[in-house]
Structure 1
Amino acid sequence: MLVRAPRAPRPPRAARRVAVLRTATLVACAVAVVLAPFAGPPAEAVNPPRTGFERSGGTRWTSPREEAEFLATVDEESPRVAVDRIGTTEQGRPLDLVRIGAPGPPTPARAARGSVVLLVCAQHGDEPAGREACLTRLRDLAYAKDAATRRFLAGTAVLVIPTANPDGLAAGTRGNGDGTDVNRDHLALETAEGRAIAAVIRDHRPDVIHDLHEFDSTAPYYAKDVLTLWPRNLNTRHGVHREARHLARDHVRGAVEDAGHTSGVYGFWTDPRTGARGRQIAGDGQERILRNTAGLKHAAGLLVESRVGALTDDERDDPAAGRRRRVTSQLTALDATFDYAADHRGRLATATAAARRHGLADTGPVFLGGADNEPPEPGEVIADPPCGYALDAGQYEAVRDELALHGVEARERPGGGALVRLRQPLRALVPLLLDQRAGYELTDGRPVERCR
């Protein structure tokens, strides 16, 4: 049983940074109202752009057109920001990546010298509050003038995918344009959305992946304001798992509770009267879910879920008040993640580096099932994994792109096909992709006991 450690008080330095970040744009906007008639060239923009959600006071969500204009403005006006097209959906909508750093947008090589935080927003198109929080915070980071934010961005590259499922957002659906749940496609990579996210993770190697979602509460079993969860997959290395759990349970939950929200662990309905665990809804150890894929790829994965249903009579009478509360709780969680990335940069680097080295050592079992709260069945443990998996020409042709997007190394053979060794940084991912016993394998590779 996992026991929550006592929450340590938030460091004063971190608290000051959060306060500055939260107020920087409000101050800038207030000044802009006064100075607008005297505004000069946009090189040092006085009036940062506002989202459609902000302009409407929460009566509606930011539209796709407004998002495109908002990102174009931030890209043009802030030297810290670059907006990249990383894919196109089935219905032709753009998938964007926003890179934020100081003094300029981070490249993968420069990001590797510090911490990298990736925000993945709106994987489910009918869960918009996290997207609004992402747009707000990327703007705040882009325009803030204070020294604390500049120091933060000098050591931490922030990457944001503001809308990870544009087709679903446009339709108001959980799935993408084909009806596929993007958050169940981080192994097979069958969707344009899943492929784009995988390429970002491969190229930038984030230390933290913060995944923003929403949930429908069911009182009294599942009625918290904010729920969090870390990678439960048993193949997540110990140090990465420890940091991810610490981030979720102590930093993020601590911050949202300090802000007046209730919080809990996402995953099971629990009867508050008896403590009995009910229906499981989280796919705890499934490697195809982003927070678990994050752990397999040596990032501290974090799932944050804000409650959709109204909390008060005021919210029932005024839906905009409920929307504002949902976005505010997501903003609080984001600020806690930023604090954690800055204050624990050394610990994160140590944990992620050790996880990659472990793959090169090629030792230990690989788990095909189970989670940190559910022991695996005997048949779900490869106690003595093979040296690698051989793919014939047809198999390799079918999965070579997916292996490359994951960053899995394959050695092509002169006669066709390839050998995929386990001795590589993503060691545990290889059997999950290629072993016939795995639940979501891409193809059934032939186990090879001795690699030449």
Structure 2
Amino acid sequence: MTSRIRTLVLSVATAALVVPLTALPSSAAPSAPQQTPPRTPFEKSDGADWTTLAEEQRFLAAVDRGGDRVSVGTIGATKQGRPLNLVELGNKHAVTSLLLICSQHGDEPSGREACLTTVRDLAYPEDPATKRFLDRTSVLVVPTANPDGRAADTRGNSDGVDINRDHIALETAEARAFAALTRDRRPDVIYDLHEYGATPPYYDEDLFDLWPRNLNTSSRVHDEAKTLSEAYVRPAARAGDHTIGTYGIWTDPVTGEPIRQTAGDGQERILRNASGVKHSVGLLIESRVDPRSEAEENDPSLNHRRRVDSQLDSLKGLFGYADKRRVQLSTATALSRAAGLLDRGTVYFGGGDNEPATPEDTVENPPCAYRLDATQYGEFKDELALHGVKALPQRGDGALVPLRQSQRKLIPLLLDERATYHLTVGRPVEAC
């Protein structure tokens, strides 16, 4: 498979857009790596074989040795002891930061392969544009978000838990690691790579994507997520000759009009929604698993390559967006994080950007804090900390969780009895 990232050229609509970047100072320019860039077993087999976990370890070790803009570490381990690898590329201190979470579902491998080759291409940049991009951008990649599930080829982890439904409760080691990473590194974009099964002729695109629908996402972050999708990722996918639509929406095959929603709601426990509530521009991307042709049915490697290629082409849109809109992106996420300090604004326990919340799910004047008793605080203080929520311990009497903090709109989703996925029921405090 040829490299898809090295030129950072994004085809938007019918025109080719070369990502414009400011030149690196000569003193900052790294020397070119001398080693030959490694290739994944998926690439070596021309798509016949997926990269195994052991092969991933060897591949990342080779990338780490050869690239001087990359470091490979871990952010934890699974219940079965497999490492959760984290690859850091570019400038750790850059204003613009991206986080790729690859294959939360273990039986959806194409996003993982796209992430591995992207890591390699960014670690061995061959052109000045990519080097300048990396100088201004921090790129974090979790290549295999569910190693136990990948080893077993299962959707869930070793306990059968769907990690992508655990970004509120944080019951899994994987979700806890991602929450801590998000809290500590505060990525501007969280890009979540998945696969889906088609339902022709209503749900049958090469790719689907979706932004945070949860109404507790700030309007600035929500709008940037839609811009990422509509103005960058979708044009990049189409430029790669892939069809793309909105995840969870069946469409009339003749008119193209939406006729049914089967998924893609505003559940805060799903990563793209949790990302938005936590002030990151979240985007879900799903590639089509099913064969597109008789040739793909007869040769699985063709199907595998098409799935991975579609993920790689959509990633061009992400990188083009991060560079072209880095000011708007950083402004949106920074203002979103600061808004909670003002302690005002409506909180929603339901609805979505395509489904107005009911009056019962709309709280225009939420309490100023929630009080937890000693037992509740003892049981859930770690989860609150992982979410980046500050709690004020009270002498011998649990803790007070004020809403006047950055994660203001997340707190009721964790502690209010009206929230569908609350951790526990705190006592509302109306006057602080």
TM range (shorter): over 0.9
Instruction: Tell me, in whole angstroms, the C-alpha distance in 1 between the residues paired with 2:156 and 2:50.
Output: 18
Cα distance in 1 for partners of 2:126, 2:204 equals: 39
CA distance in 2, matches of 1:424, 1:168: 36
1:444 maps to what in 2?
A: 425
Report the secondary structure of 2:18's partner residue: helix
Say which of 229, 252, 272 aligns to 2:233: 252
Q: Which residue of 2 aligns with 1:164?
A: 145
- State the Cα distance separating 1:273 from its structure 2 match: 4.2
User: 1:13 aligned to 2:12?
Assistant: no
- Corresponding residue for 2:223? 242
2:110 pairs, out of 126, 129, 153, with 129
**Hey, what does 2:50 align to over in structure 1?**
61
Q: Secondary structure at the match of 1:12?
A: strand
1:397 corresponds in structure 2 to 378
Q: CA deviation at 1:354?
A: 1.2
Within the alignment, does 1:384 sit opposite 2:389 as a pair? no
Q: Deviations over 1:47-91 (max 9, x none)?
A: 111111001100010000100001111112222111121111111
* Partner in structure 1 of residue 282 of structure 2: 301
Match for residue 217 of structure 1 among 176, 192, 198: 198
Counterpart for residue 280 of structure 1 = 262
Q: Are 1:363 and 2:368 counterparts?
A: no
3-state DSSP class of the match of 2:378?
helix
The secondary structure found in structure 2 opposite 1:409 is coil
The match for 1:94 is 83
User: C-alpha distance in 2, partners of 1:145/1:311?
Assistant: 33
Amino acid of the residue matched to residue 188 of structure 1? A
* 1:335-346 equivalent positions in 2, closer than 5 A: 335-346=316-327
Q: 1:44 aligns with which of 17, 33, 37?
A: 33
Q: Unpaired segments of 5 or more residues in structure 1?
A: 1-6, 18-41
Compute the displacement of 1:242 (Å). Answer: 0.5
**Counterpart-to-counterpart distance in 2, 1:50 and 1:354:** 41
Q: Which piece of structure 1 moves more, 354-363 or 120-129?
A: 354-363
Count residues in correspondence: 411
Deviation at 1:450, TM superposition (A): 1.6
Q: 1:416 Cα deviation (Å)? A: 3.3
CA–CA distance in structure 1, aligned partners of residues 414 and 286 of structure 2: 28
Tell me the C-alpha RMSD between the 2 structures: 1.6
Aligned match for 1:411, one of 383, 389, 392: 392
Q: Which residue of 2 aligns with 1:34?
A: none
CA contact (8 A) 2:176 2:386 kept: yes
SS in 2 for 1:301: strand
Gaps of 5+ in 2: 1-11, 22-30
State the alpha-carbon separation in 1 of the partners of residues 244 and 210 from structure 2: 11
How far apart in 2 are the matches of 1:146 and 1:384?
53
User: What do residues 379-436 of structure 1 show as CA deviations (whole Å, max 9, x unaligned)?
Assistant: 1111210001001111011111111111111111122311111111111000000001
| Distance in 1 of aligned mates of 2:360 and 2:341 | 25
- 1:433 match: secondary structure: helix
Counterpart pick for 1:146 among 104, 127, 130: 127
Amino acid at match of 2:67: S
CA deviations over 1:208-236 (Å, ceiling 9, x no partner): 11100000111101001111100000011
Is residue 207 from structure 1 mapped to residue 188 from structure 2 by the alignment?
yes
* Maintained 8 Å contact 1:230/1:303: yes
Measured in 2, the distance between the counterparts of 1:77 and 1:211 equals 27
What per-residue deviation string (whole Å, max 9, x for no partner) do you get for residues 165-197 of structure 1? 000000111000000000000011000000011
Superposed displacement of residue 10, structure 1:
6.1
Worse-matched range after superposition: 218-227 or 411-420:
411-420
**Among 67, 70, 73, the residue aligned to 1:84:** 73
Secondary structure of 2:250 counterpart: strand
Displacement of 1:278 after TM fit?
Answer: 2.7
| Deviation sequence 1:245-270 (CA, Å, 0-9, x none) | 11112210111112111110001223
- Aligned-residue offset at 1:349: 1.1
Contact 1:271 1:278 in 2 (8 A): no
- C-alpha distance in 1, partners of 2:82/2:337? 35
1:165-204 mapped onto 2 (5 Å cutoff): 165-204=146-185
Q: Is the 8 A contact 2:249 2:258 kept in 1?
A: no
Instruction: Quote the Cα distance in structure 1 between the aligned partners of 2:233 and 2:299.
Output: 28
Could you say which structure has the higher helix fraction?
1
Structure-2 separation of matches of 1:133 and 1:439: 34
CA contact (8 A) 2:35 2:66 kept: no
For residues 49 and 18 of structure 2, what CA distance do their matches in structure 1 show? 35
Identity of paired residues, percent?
A: 57
Instruction: Indicate if the aligned counterparts of 1:94 and 1:166 stay in contact, CA closer than 8 A.
Output: yes
Counterpart Cα distance in 1 of 2:397 and 2:143: 40
Question: Distance in 2 between the 1:441 and 1:403 partners?
Answer: 12
Q: CA deviation at 1:101?
A: 1.2
* Paired AA for residue 218 in structure 1: T
Partner of 2:26: none
Contact preservation (8 Å) 1:228, 1:249: no
Hey, what's the Cα distance between the residues in 2 that align with 1:248 and 1:57? 29
Letter in 2 for 1:160: V
Contact 1:43 1:77 survives alignment (8 Å) = no
Give 2:170's aligned amino acid. L
